[in-house]
Amino acid sequence: MQRIAVLSDIHGNATALAAVLADAKAQHVNEYWTVGDVAVRGPESEKCLQLLETVHPTAAVLGNHEQNYRKVLKATAENFTKPKQVMATILTAYDYAQLTSTHFDQLLHLPMTVTKHVGPLTIRLQHVLPNFASGHTMAPTEAQLNFDQAASGNPDIVIYAHTHQPVMRYSTRGQLILNAGTVGLPTAIHPALRQPRAMYLILTIDETGVQAIDYRHVDFDVDAAVAIAHEKQLPYLPFYKRTLRTNTYQYAPQRVADYNAAHGLDAQAQAILKTTFN
């Protein structure tokens, strides 16, 4: 019997991750998978990698924020100037300063997909689509066609992430499609569903197939997480703080653009691209 903890969208929130790992231990989990965005936006990406090393994940895939590391390393001050690109540059530099070179390289070279064989099942992990790690294609209310695209090929189960919303859907062919939600940045669109709790799921599989899918919600110390972000001078701190306090998405492009302009971050990002990664 395998009890697998599926962790996604940790976003450098080691406070939430520690709470999730303690809960998973209490639930007798014996395997761990990560589905992207371990890092970025929160203040403790390095500590998150260290915590994960204590449970030895057997699968990990690229998230859109780790993919942004790649984009920033290839960018120039002239071609990477959109508001979200400026933010990606500054947050990548922040993580680059705290991550060990081994951990930065590990995140930089994560695969787009990983396929696992557990009992009779073939399970594919991907952050969004098999060939694409970002975008809104797989929002929970998107068209069935998008979920069919996500389940292309022959997996029995697809596990994705990115939306920060727990999801259970099926492809037209009946393949199971799961999303564990988010460990580090809990959000919800519907007001009654907002709560400051870390999300993950436990998948229980034996030789006959899936025995249980347990969507977990775990309390963590939001005040402590915010205090750590203050102490560690997290860039875009108001966005992170409001997300944790209100459990609503804060990083809309226009809001980011206004913040960049108010704090001179366009020039800061250009300076980073000219000096930090060369």
Domain ranges, ordered by start, for the chain:
2-112+188-275
3-state per-residue secondary structure call for 157-173: EEEECCCCCEEEEECCC
Residue 114: what are its φ and ψ, rounded to 5°? -135, 135
Q: Judge contact between 250 and 11, C-beta under 8 A.
A: no
Give me the CATH topology for the region 2-112+188-275.
Purple Acid Phosphatase; chain A, domain 2 (3.60.21)
Measured CA to CA, the distance from residue 238 to residue 263 in angstroms comes to 12
Low-confidence ranges of the chain (pLDDT < 50): none
For residue 155 the two structure tokens come to 């997996």
Q: Judge contact between 184 and 221, C-beta under 8 A.
A: no
Q: State the residue for tokens 């259970």.
A: 168
| Whether the model pTM is above 0.75 | yes
For residue 161 the two structure tokens come to 């992430």
Q: What are 121's strand-pairing partners? A: 118
Residue range 72-116, pLDDT digits in tens: 999 999 999 999 999 999 999 999 999 999 999 999 999 999 999
CA of residue 28 relative to chain centroid, distance: 23
State the pLDDT at residue 277.
81
Query: In whole angstroms, how far apart are CA 27 and each of 4, 19, 24, 208, 214?
Result: 10, 12, 5, 21, 10
State the pLDDT at residue 151.
98
